[in-house]
Structure 1
Amino acid sequence: MRRQFRFPASLAALLLAGSAAATEEINLPDFGDSAGAIFSRDDERIYGRELMRQLRNYQVVIEDPQLVEYLDTLAYRLVEAANRPNYSFQFVMLDSPVVNAFAAPGGVVALHSGLLLEAERESEVAAVLAHEIAHVTQHHLARALENSIKDQIPILLATLGAAIAGSGNGDATQAAIVSGMALLQQRQINFTRSNEKEADRVGIQTLAKGDFEVDGMASFFGRLNRITRTNSGGLKAPEFLRTHPVSLARVSEAKARADQVRAPEVRESVLFDYMRERIRVRSGEMPGELIGYYDDILKLRPLSAAERYGQALAVLRLGQGERALALLESDSADGVEGLPVALARIEAYVEAGQPDQARSLMAGLLTALPENRVVVASHAQLAVKLNDADMAEDAQGRLRSLLLRFEYDPGLRELHARTAELSGDQIRAAESYAEATFLRGRARDAMNQLERLEQRSDLSYYQRARIQAQIARMAPIALNEEREYGNYHPEDDA
């Protein structure tokens, strides 16, 4: 009989904390592919999906469609350049000001949003991703998983899971993560010097093949090293020093390798600048302070197009649609940056009380990009915001097609539920709400929703069978979660 893996709900805390060894190496936290030592390749894929569910359960995963699409586009460009088609990756952005990144079993690679804010160009972010991807594809964690981690995980999970599960706000979550880092320092998981050199070497080759600046790794780590030594800039130095020790020798080696390999043509997306401003505004707690940030820049120099976009988003957070429109109208973006600007204009039209203009602009985007994930999701968001049943019905159909490609995206699932509800399809809405709940790490809550839905007397035979199949799929995972959280009752197995 095939053995059944349990997917602990608290494992995400272990991964969020990362590796915290204070050595001279640049130890980017990594939990890479175990090369079959503990999990088969199929188990790894399942593990990755379950890990994503639990990360979302802690409400630290950014689900903004534009940021999700940007990270996926950037990361899969590197995966293609790495030429490892047999590997299944999942990339995620965490809502955290810490400059950090990690990789995990199942091909999960995560970037903290603070890393994108600290980077000055796209190649620097690509360098971190390439380094993490290399750790996964080169099987660097196999020995650590086999000889150390599997013995320590039960102890770490109980402590870290309780800390994060009990946190009800962002500050408490960050405190729990920092506590987890301190605990992991007692059980250091280090890559060897050869592992790190290989990850650097393979990562730089991947950067070159992906047409990025190959000195992105050296420039990023070199600048962070200078910042942490002088404690200048906005970087949270203590957290970074615990998780990413940087040596001058390591930076020099990265520079030397970069000098040997150059991309024939560097292709960096201008979207990096726009998405960095989007993160800045999204993560800022006080809209007034954000507006002050852009005003301070204006005292020194004119804003860049991306900064004007960020300023408009900050103004929109105050509900000032007309002012945002004035800022956005000065941009004649017609490249890839045209999409985020157009979507910001749609939002501004709604805030300014001009819904017809919002509908018209959205219709044009749908005509030009009918299968684009960001456009389809934004169309659904607009339908819900305008409470437009006809638009919602159209959006529901578009989302149904999109979910065939992105079935594990809870944000799209929830949008499908909301548009189905608005258009009158209550059964599909309830199913999609339950699936979104499941994908966010709450299997028991999702099952409860489906069990209530199953009690409806107006279900067709096929609807009831579909709902029962979903309940059966979720049941073993819900049981594992209850065991992990201490709510397990042995009689449930009878």
Structure 2
Amino acid sequence: MLKRTRSLVCICLAAALSTPTTYANSLDLPDIGTAAGGTLTIDQELIFGDAYMRMLRASSPIVNDPVINAYIDSLGHRLVANANDVKTPFHFFMIRDRNINAFAFFGGYVALHSGLFLHARTESELASVVAHEIAHVTQRHLARSMEEQARRSPATMAALAAGLLLSIASPQAGMAAITAATAGNMQSQINYTRSNEKEADRFGIATLAKAGFEVQAMPRFFGRLADQYRYASKPPPMLLTHPLPEDRITDSRARAQAYPPMRIMPSIDYHLTRARIVARYANIDGQAAMSWFERTQKKASPDIAASFDYGRALVHLDNKRLSEAEPLLTKLLQQDPGNPFYLDAMSDLYIEKKEPQKAVDMLTNALKRNPQNTVLTINYANALLEANKFEDAVRLLQRYTHDYPEDINGWHLLAKGNHDLGINDEELAARAEILALQANWNKAIQLYTEASKIADLGSLQQARYDARIDQLMIQRDRFMALQ
């Protein structure tokens, strides 16, 4: 794992090399046992993962961008479909942070920092990081490490879990809690973590190959990062928690060479996502973003030229230079009329031009061709609201939030739609769901209580609110018990 939100420090891999034939035909894994099953059940891991994620939503700059989320989700699940031992659902998300980093935790949650996209030059390089994180989850390394700590200290699993939970909200406090609970043999813990890293690398590169990515991307990315930051006084967090010594790079290179070389065309979706991140989530101004597009395009394949025009269009759009954004987006849509990246941006442009009905018409046609696309659906709902078609928007968003209850975008738009319609109780209920997703249980319960008081006495609506209050109280109590 590239970064741990806990005290288990990722130490460098020091594995002895095997022959290329061994790499290709067998994972050749160390025997580190499967005792994690006796420590935490899968259901317990899901509970912990849900709790961690709620805390992260409240404390970290998570990017709730439907276009980026759709891409990350697609990439992640392509890898999951080719991974071994998948026992949990997976959830992929991005944190706005220029540091190169990624981490995974209980329940199949995998976080990618926006800075990772700035340094991964190809989709396969990004996939190599994601595949490594997936392996940490599928092989239940966190549960195994907790068990190892418990064996070497008087700490209970509850104390360890509480420290892990605390470490996400307050890393220093969490690490102190875990250290106090696990004052044991640190060398043994380091060795155990090395075994986890060895296993994650091996499973990760096998997953890359099965999913059709370029396996050479893993050692190439590792090697470039090691060279770039070899003499840096302040290396990125990834290299502090996950060092890249030469033997680890050599090991991954040997494994990659066991697979036949593949020529993979550049992924336009990856480069469109990368351009969107540079334009909106790299913490640089529009001029700096434009300079990045110009420099990078000079060295890039002509196959991804559209991604640079897309990035430029976003910079123009975000700086209200609509007359410069529109011809770029028009050209891109003519080349690829159903592309959700372009449709999303053009929808925003129409809304900025105070022409939301054009966005509604465009997205109506796009959804006929791709009715299940979440990017188009959430944009359509937003366009309906901007066109003052509040009832249509609310009906759509009620279905959307039912299907995607963890998407905060849907709840925000539903709250807005009900506000515009003057339906106060439903607005309160939607706002309560956002608070619950951020572990703000008491405030969520308060808003639902207010909604229940507004609803007609004895109505189905009031009964629904009251039932949801009961559910939230159970969730709150379970959440607090973890601490």
TM bucket normalised to smaller: 0.7 to 0.9
Give deviations 1:60-92, integer Å, cap 9, x for gaps: 221111111111111011111115453222222
Q: What residue number does 1:121 align with?
A: 122
Give the counterpart letter for 1:411 in structure 2. N
* CA distance, structure 2, for counterparts of residue 155 and residue 202 of structure 1: 28
Is the aligned partner of 1:475 residue 2:476? no
Distance 2:415 2:428 in 1: 7
**Whole-Å Cα distance in 1 between the matches of residues 216 and 474 of structure 2?**
47
Shift of 1:298: 8.9
Q: Does 1:389 align with 2:380?
A: no
Kept after mapping to 1: 8 A contact 2:425/2:454: no
Residues 137, 333 of structure 1: CA spacing in aligned structure 2 closer, same or farther, 3 A cutoff? farther
Q: CA deviation at 1:230?
A: 5.0
C-alpha distance in 1 between matches for 2:221 and 2:337: 25
SS in 1 for 2:62: coil
Q: Which residue of structure 1 lines up, in the alignment, with residue 417 of structure 2?
A: 419
Query: Which residue is 2:316 aligned to?
Result: 315
Unaligned runs of at least 5 residues, structure 1: 1-13, 27-32, 164-176, 486-494
Deviations 1:295-335 (A, max 9, x none): 75399689932122111111222122222112323335645
Tell me by how many angstroms 1:340 deviates: 0.6
Instruction: Choose 396-405 or 245-254, whichever is displaced more.
Output: 396-405
Displacement after TM superposition at 1:469 (Å): 1.1
Alignment-mate amino acid for residue 276 of structure 1: R
Q: 1:158 to 1:124 in 2, by over 3 A?
A: closer
Equivalence for 1:10:
none
SS state at 1:102 partner: strand
8 Å CA contact 2:123–2:266 kept in 1: the answer is yes
1:280, 1:354 → 2: CA distance?
27
AA partner of residue 125 (structure 2)? E
Partner deviation per Cα, 1:401-425 (whole Å, 9 max, x = no partner): 3334322222222222223333454
Give 1:65-464 correspondences, 5 Å limit.
65-84=66-85, 86-148=87-149, 150=157, 151=159, 154=162, 161=169, 163=170, 190=190, 191-229=192-230, 231=232, 237-262=235-260, 266=264, 269-285=267-283, 287-294=285-292, 297=295, 304-332=305-333, 334-335=335-336, 338-384=339-385, 386=386, 388-390=387-389, 392-456=390-454, 458-464=456-462
Q: What SS does the aligned partner of 1:141 have?
A: helix
Q: 1:413, 1:432 within 8 Å by CA — same for their partners in 2?
A: yes
Q: Tell whether the 8 Å contact from 2:46 to 2:107 is kept in structure 1 after alignment.
A: yes
Q: Residue 397 of structure 1: SS of its match in structure 2?
A: helix
Q: Could you tell me which residue of structure 2 aligns to residue 171 of structure 1?
A: none
Task: Work out whether residues 214 and 262 of structure 1, in 8 Å CA contact, stay in contact via their aligned partners in 2.
Answer: no
Q: 1:42 to 1:335 in 2, by over 3 A?
A: farther
TM-score (norm 1): 0.79
User: Which stretch shifts more, 146-155 or 42-51?
Assistant: 146-155
| Aligned mates of 2:212, 2:176 — CA distance in 1 | 38
C-alpha change, 1:206 and 1:92, in structure 2 (3 Å) is: same
Task: Using the TM superposition, name which of 327-336 and 451-460 deviates more.
Answer: 327-336
Partner of 2:92, secondary structure, is strand
Describe the SS at the equivalent of 1:237: coil
2:406 alignment partner, SS class: coil
Q: Give CA deviations for 1:311-370 in whole Å, capped at 9, x if unaligned.
A: 111122212222211232333564598221122122122223443433332222222222
Structure 1 residue 239: Cα displacement: 2.5
SS of 2:63 mapped into structure 1: coil
Give the whole-Å Cα distance in 2 for the aligned partners of 1:457 and 1:222. 61
Q: Is the 8 A contact 2:11 2:193 kept in 1?
A: no
CA distance in 2, matches of 1:132, 1:403: 28
> Structure 1 pair 160/50, CA: closer, same or farther in 2 (3 Å)?
closer
Structure 2 distance, partners of 1:300, 1:144, is 46
User: 2:456, 2:82 → 1: CA distance?
Assistant: 52
2:50 is aligned to: 49
1:399–1:416: 8 Å Cα contact kept in structure 2? yes
Contact kept, 8 Å, 2:14 with 2:247, in 1: the verdict is no
For residues 131-156 of structure 1, the C-alpha deviation after alignment (integer angstroms, 9 at most, x for no partner) is 11112222333332123274556567
Q: CA deviation at 1:381?
A: 2.1
Partner of 1:58: 59
Q: What CA distance in whole angstroms lies between the structure 1 residues aligned with 2:337 and 2:217? A: 22
Paired residue type of 1:389: N
Q: How does 1:33-44 map to 2 (within 5 A)?
A: 35-44=36-45
TM-fit CA distance, 1:448:
0.9
Which secondary structure state, in structure 2, belongs to the residue aligned with residue 255 of structure 1? helix
Q: How far, CA to CA, are the matches of 1:23 and 1:358 in structure 2?
A: 51
Question: Partners of 2:265 and 2:378 in 1: how far apart?
Answer: 27
Name the SS of the counterpart of 1:36 in structure 2.
helix
Shift of 1:55: 0.9
Deviations 1:194-230 (A, max 9, x none): 4323222211111111111111211111111111115
Q: What's the TM-score once normalised by structure 2's chain length?
A: 0.81
CA pair 264-237 structure 1, distance change in 2 beyond 3 A = closer
The 8 Å contact of residues 92 and 109 in structure 2, kept in 1 or not, is answered as: yes
Equivalent residue number for residue 8 of structure 1: none
Identity %: 32
Q: Aligned to 2:38, what secondary structure does the other structure show?
A: coil
Residue type of the alignment partner of 1:76: H
The alpha carbon displacement at 1:285 in A equals 4.0
Across the aligned residues of Structure 1 and Structure 2, the Cα RMSD in angstroms comes to 3.4
Q: How far 1:180 sits from its partner (Å)? A: 7.4
